[in-house]
């Protein structure tokens, strides 16, 4: 029988058999009370709001919205709850994103019952908990989520680096105010071909108009 000082839990996992087995396991500990369960992020948010658990055991691989993506909504629904990821994923990026997203801990589903129980108690006290098998990946995990992504061609100093030579040629005509018809005549190609090139140019530069394309060249001092 659970005591008055029981830790109220919300179990979130889409696999019914695992979820029911986990609930049965947790029921063996006198200081745990499973207040509710959920099979997806939406249901978890509703349950968290209604039950206000102390600890949310959250799987990452949920249908639709992943557990990591659901962290902000769960934290908003139950601000006082601590979230412990309970997952099969040993991916260091998942680990880093979970902790950065507000999870208090990250425990693998391969954990023994007493190890999980200890992790839950520590999470309830506000401690940070990471499975022993994942501690070696912790530094790499935070490096992966904190370092800026490698520069892509789109973000390079030269805004037209992503364009083919033909697209760069057409872009210079655009910057001069030339129409598709004028460009087609100048390059001796079909007007429909010019139109396709223009669409590719705007997409590659993440622009919505020919005017914006001309501005990009002007701002970057690219000769036209």
β-strands 32-38, 55-58 pairing: unpaired
pLDDT at residue 137, rounded to an integer: 66
Alpha-carbon span 164 to 26, nearest angstrom = 61
Exposed, middle or buried, 130 (CB in 10 Å: 0-12/13-18/19+)?
Answer: buried
Mean pLDDT over 16-27 rounds to 95
Output the pTM of the full model. 0.62
pLDDT category at 158 given cuts 50, 70, 90 is: low
Asked if residue 152 has pLDDT above 60, the reply is no
Contact 14, 42 (CB under 8 A): no
Q: Which residues pair with 129 in a beta bridge?
A: 105
In the chain, CATH 1.10.10.10 covers: 153-219
- Could you identify the residue written with the tokens 């008055």? 4
Q: Model confidence over 55-70: pLDDT tens digits?
A: 999 999 999 899 999 9
Mean pLDDT over 174-197 rounds to 88
pLDDT category at 139 given cuts 50, 70, 90 is: low
**What are the backbone angles phi and psi of residue 12, rounded to the nearest 5°?**
-120, 110
Q: Which residues pair with 10 in a beta bridge?
A: 36, 56
Q: Model confidence over 121-133: pLDDT tens digits?
A: 999 998 888 887 7
- As assigned by CATH, the class of the 153-219 domain is mainly alpha
Tokens (6 digits) for 194: 């010019």
Stated length of the chain: 224
In the chain, CATH 3.40.50.2300 covers: 7-146
Mean pLDDT over 117-145 rounds to 78
pLDDT at residue 164, rounded to an integer: 83
pLDDT at residue 210, rounded to an integer: 78
Architecture in CATH of 7-146: 3-Layer(aba) Sandwich (3.40)
Mean pLDDT over 155-173 rounds to 77
Alpha-carbon span 28 to 114, nearest angstrom = 11
């Amino acid at each position: 029988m659970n005591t008055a000082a029981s830790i109220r839990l919300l179990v979130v996992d889409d696999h019914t058999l695992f979820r029911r087995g986990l609930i049965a396991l947790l029921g063996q500990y006198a200081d745990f009370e499973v207040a509710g369960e959920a099979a997806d992020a939406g249901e978890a948010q509703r349950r968290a709001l209604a039950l206000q658990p102390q600890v949310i055991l959250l799987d990452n691989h949920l249908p639709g919205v992943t557990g990591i993506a659901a962290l902000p909504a769960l934290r908003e629904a139950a601000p006082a709850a601590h979230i412990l990821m309970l997952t099969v994923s040993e991916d260091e990026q998942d680990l880093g994103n979970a902790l950065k997203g507000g999870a208090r801990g990250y425990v693998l589903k391969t954990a023994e019952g007493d190890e999980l129980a200890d992790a839950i108690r520590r999470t309830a006290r506000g401690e940070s908990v990471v499975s022993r098998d994942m501690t070696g990946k912790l530094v790499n995990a935070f490096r992966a989520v904190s370092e800026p992504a490698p520069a892509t061609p789109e973000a390079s100093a030269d805004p037209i680096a992503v364009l083919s030579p033909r697209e760069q040629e057409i872009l210079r005509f655009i910057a001069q105010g030339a129409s598709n018809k004028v460009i087609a005549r100048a390059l001796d190609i079909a007007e429909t071909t010019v139109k396709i090139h223009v669409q590719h140019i705007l997409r590659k530069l993440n622009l919505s108009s020919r005017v914006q394309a001309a501005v990009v060249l002007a701002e970057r001092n690219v000769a036209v």
